[in-house]
Chain A
Amino acid sequence: MPAPALEPRGSTLEDEIVGLFDLLREPLLRYLASLGLPMADGEEIVQEVFLSLFQHLRRGGDRTNLRGWVFRVAHNLGLKRRSKTSRLSTVAWEWLCDPAPGPEEQFFQSEIARRVRAVLRALPEQDRRCLMLRAEGLRYREIAGTLAMSLGAVSMSLARSLARVARAADR
């Protein structure tokens, strides 16, 4: 997947932020859903993240790696929101936990898709977070920054998870 242009410069700071928002809103919503947050919470958090980014840049904050910055703030706000509320998204929770998809879903899902999802469900939470961030195109350093892990821990986690996914696909 080609890396998107991540730092578009609009005519104003607002345009620049909106450009980034257009690029990253869906990946962020997907990541927040994978944390088990309802979509409405995800939407609120994404708005909050980009408003914080706006404030950060207005104050002359660091511009290096804005994608990493955005994911890190979203991750922290997502966990904070999750700890405040016990309700998890029905959709996300089913996706993570339902061990037996219904007949209709079985019909539409390929065998590989089911195996991959089964692996994702079975991963420890931190490994799944690393993997989902990697799938969103984040570099190892960005994942490490987002999850407050060392680079070595990220590569170990990804090596473990990807080996399991590769085995599942190969079976």
Chain B
Amino acid sequence: MRHLSDEELLMAPDGDRHLMECEACRGRKRELEDAVELVREHREVVDPIFSAGVARARLRAAMAEAAAAPAGETLWWRPWQAAAVGALALVCTLAIVSRAHRRYDVPSPRLTPGAARAVDRNALCNSELPKNQVVPADLRERVFQAYGIAHADPRKYEVDYLITPALGGADDIRNLWPQPYVSTVWNARVKDELEDRLREMVCGGRLDLAEAQREISTDWIAAYKKYFGTERPGR
């Protein structure tokens, strides 16, 4: 009896007559299937940048943004519409550039969606609290550039982590934004209070780490209101 080739064995359905009758072929097919298992077992272990919660929140935010636009509409087949949008975009860009001291109480979801290290709660809570982690100067400069802030005054802004390192936030430009210290109600010092509160809750087992990362990265002001039970800080 001619035995099936490896290729034929791989393509043979379970009830194949030749396979049913040929023990050697069944054995070879098992060997090949075991080889797939071996590859599966020894393939690379990935170390994602974002926790599952943050990655999910980013996707939901992007879908919400996309859903605001009508489904299936494209501009390239309507030149007049594309031209109008282009002109509007130019005006908006000029307006943004001219506002050198624009305040960013909340970061742009596009520029700063948040990024977290892959770390679990125990490791995070048992490690020393990273205090006043300094953002490297070149990274700070890139953040200001991304936000269109020319000649940033360091006394006015803190380049802050959206997800604080104390909650597993990563040293990544996507996790940094220029947050004003003063002049706004929702400033850097208020956010520091929230970060302390969330870490305390996470390490006390009262809040899931991924949930804390998700809430602070999607809308930190809403998170403050929720966890401090107030509509305005300092009350």
Chain A residues with CB under 8 Å of chain B are 1, 14, 17-18, 21-22, 25-26, 29-30, 33-34, 39-40, 42-43, 46-47, 50-51, 54-55, 58-59, 91-92, 95, 112-113, 116-117, 120, 131-132, 134-135, 140, 155-156, 158-160, 162-163, 165-166, 169-170
Contacts and interface: CB of A to CB of B under 8 A. Distances in A.
A24 to B, nearest CB: 12
Given A159-B5, A159-B10, A33 B44 contact: yes
Given A58-B71, A116-B38, A47 B49 contact: no
Contacts of B47: 39, 91
B62 A30 contact: no
Contacts of B1: none
Contacts of B63: 14, 17, 51, 54
6 contacts: A22-B56, A55-B71, A113-B41, A135-B36, A162-B6, A170-B31
Interface residues of B, number: 37
Contacts of A17: 59, 63
A162 to B, nearest CB: 4
B43 A162 contact: no
B193 interface: no
B7 A165 contact: no
Most chain B C-beta atoms within 10 Å of own C-beta, residue among A34, A135, A170: A135
Contacts, number: 118
Interface string B1-19: 0000111011100000000
Given A33-B46, A135-B40, A22 B52 contact: yes
Interface in B60-94: 60, 62-64, 66-67, 71-72
B179 to A, nearest CB: 23
B200 interface: no
A95 B44 contact: yes
A134 B59 contact: no
A156 B49 contact: no
B186 interface: no
B59 A30 contact: no
Nearest to A120: B39
A140 B36 CA distance: 13
B203 interface: no
Contacts of A39: 46-49
Interface string B113-156: 00000000000000000000000000000000000000000000
A43 B43 contact: no
Contact of B58 (A22, A40, A47, A165): A47
A132 B59 CA distance: 25
A123 to B, nearest CB: 10
B23 interface: no
